[in-house]
Amino acid sequence: MSLRYGQPMIAIPGPSITPERVLRTMHRSSPDIYEGELVDLTFGLVEELPSIARTSGRAFMAISNGHGAWQMALCNTLSAGDKVLVLESGLFATVWGQMAERTQLNVEYLSGSNRLPIDPNMLEKRLSEDTAHEIKAILCVHTDTATSVRNDIAALGRAIKNLDHPALFMVDCIASLVCEQYEMDQWEVDITVAASQKGLMMPPGLGFVWANDRALEAHKSAGLRIGYFDWDQRLNPDHMYQLFSGTPPIQHIYGLREVLDMINEEGLENIWNRHQILSGAVRAAVETWQQPDGLELNIIEPQARSNAVTTVLTGTIDSEQLRNICSSEAGLTLGLAVGGLEADAFRIGHMGHLNPPMILGTLATIEAALLSMKAPIGGNGIGAAAEVIANAFPD
C-alpha cells in the first residue's frame, strides 16, 4: 500500500511545472507558418521579450535547451582563441566554460566555493591585472542550480564598469529568470541567457539570448558565427521563418505567448515577491529542522540564497533514502544533488507556477519522510514555514 496516488508533485529545479493553461494552448495542430496569426504572434514575442530581462536590447530565440543558448551567446560575439574568464560558483558556470573550451575559446577559471557567492573583489583584482585587455568576455551564472547560490550580478557589473574593462559581461539566468529580480541594463550586463523550462514554466525546447548594443557590435566581427545560431538572419528577417533559422517551434510559440500573458497579469515584481516568500518558507523549514550532523542549508550567506532552488546538505541522513520515501510513498519528486558537492545533499526546486499549498505540501511531505526515518531534526519546520506565509497574507 502506498499513499502516492493523487496528483504527483515535482519539486526538482527544472523542468518546472507547466501550468494547465499553457499546456492547453500548446496542445494544437500546426497552422500556416507563412502568414497569419502565428507570424504576428512571433514578431510580437520578439518585441516583448526584452521586458522580462529588463533590457532595451534585442532578444533572440533558438530551438534548443540552455546549452544551445550558451552556444548562441558565445558564437555570436567571440572569435577563436579569445580569452574568456569564467567566474565559478558551482557546476553550471564551469560547464559553460567547458563548452567555451570546446568552442575554441581560451578559457580561464576564477575558482570559487560551492557554498559562497562569487567575490566581486576577486574579479576586480583579476581584471586590474589585465591591462592589455586580453579578456574578451566574463561568464557567470546568476543562480547556480547545483549549489543554489544567487550571485550579486549588480556588484559584479559594477566591478567591471569601475575598471572600465571592455570585456563583455555574460550572465546565465537559466534558473533565475522571472524567479529573481534581474535588471540586465541597470546591472551593466551585455548578454543574458535563459531557457524555457524553469521560471518560464514551459517544456524544454526554447533557448533565449538577450544582447545589448555592445554585444550586437561585437557580433559584427565575431569569428565564431556559425550557420544555425548566427544572429544575422534573425536580426533583419524578411520572414518569420528566419527568426528561427528554419521551421519555428509553433507549439512553444503559443506556450510562450500564454506565459507572457500570465507574467503580465501577475506582474513581474509580484512574481519575484512570491518567489521570495515561498522560498523563505522553504528556508525557514530547513533552518528549523537543522541539527548538528543533520540537515543544513548549503549556502552560508543568507542574502546569497536563491529564490528558485534550495540545496540542503543532509549530514548523516541518507538523502537517497529520503528522496525514495518521498517519491515512492508520497508521489513527491525531489531534486538529486549534482555538481560534486562536498557532502550528501538533495535539492528542492521552487521555481515558476507555485503557491502555498504546493510548497507547504512539499515541506510537510519531507518532514513526514524525515520522521519516518527517525532522522535527527531540530523541530517542526512546517510551523516555521506556515508562519512565513502567514506573515505575507493581508491582516
Ligand X SMILES: Cc1ncc(COP(=O)(O)O)c(C=O)c1O
Q: Does 172 bind ligand X (CB under 6 A)?
A: yes
Using the structure block, give the residue that is written with the C-alpha cell 548578454: 191
Measured in whole angstroms, the distance separating CA 103 from the mean position of its chain's CA atoms is: 22
Strand duo 345-349 + 332-336: pairing: antiparallel
CA 378 to CA 366: how far, in whole Å?
A: 14
Instruction: Report in angstroms how near the CB of residue 4 gets to ligand X at its nearest.
Output: 26
Instruction: Report in angstroms how near the CB of residue 101 gets to ligand X at its nearest.
Output: 16
For the record, the C-alpha cell of 153 comes out as 550580478
Q: Which is nearer to ligand X, 151 or 319 (CB)?
A: 151
Q: Does 174 bind ligand X (CB under 6 A)?
A: yes
Instruction: Report in angstroms how near the CB of residue 286 gets to ligand X at its nearest.
Output: 20
The string of DSSP codes covering 203-237 is -SEEEEEEE-HHHHHHHHH-TT--TTT-HHHHHS-
Q: Does 65 bind ligand X (CB under 6 A)?
A: yes
In this structure, the number of other CB atoms found within 10 A of the CB of residue 275 comes to 23
CA 249 to CA 81: how far, in whole Å?
A: 33
Instruction: Report in angstroms how near the CB of residue 146 gets to ligand X at its nearest.
Output: 8
Instruction: Give the one residue of 38, 49, 175, 243 binding ligand X; rule: CB under 6 A.
Output: 175
Q: Which amino acid is at 163?
A: L
Instruction: Report in angstroms how near the CB of residue 370 gets to ligand X at its nearest.
Output: 26
Instruction: Report in angstroms how near the CB of residue 163 gets to ligand X at its nearest.
Output: 26
Q: Which is nearer to ligand X, 60 or 92 (CB)?
A: 92
Strand duo 332-336 + 168-172: pairing: unpaired
**152 touches 61 (CB < 8 A):** no
Q: Mapping DSSP to helix (H, G, I), strand (E, B) and coil, where does residue 30 land?
A: coil
Give the CA angle between residues 330, 336, 341 to the nearest 5°: 145
Q: Does 315 bind ligand X (CB under 6 A)?
A: no
For the record, the C-alpha cell of 15 comes out as 523542468
Near ligand X in 118-157, by CB under 6 A: 141, 144-145
Near ligand X in 13-42, by CB under 6 A: 14
Q: Which is nearer to ligand X, 82 or 144 (CB)?
A: 144
Half-sphere exposure of residue 345: CA atoms within 13 angstroms, side-chain side: 24
Q: Does 92 bind ligand X (CB under 6 A)?
A: yes
Q: Which is nearer to ligand X, 59 or 388 (CB)?
A: 59
Residue nearest to ligand X (CB): 66
Near ligand X in 373-392, by CB under 6 A: none
Length of the chain: 395
Instruction: Give the one residue of 22, 195, 206, 295 binding ligand X; rule: CB under 6 A.
Output: 195
Instruction: Give the one residue of 21, 33, 46, 67 binding ligand X; rule: CB under 6 A.
Output: 67
Q: Which is nearer to ligand X, 111 or 121 (CB)?
A: 111
Q: Which is nearer to ligand X, 174 or 325 (CB)?
A: 174
Among residues 219, 347, 214, 199, which one has the least CA distance to residue 286? 347
Q: Does 348 bind ligand X (CB under 6 A)?
A: no
* Binding residues vs ligand X (CB under 6 A): 14, 65-67, 92, 141, 144-145, 172, 174-175, 195, 204
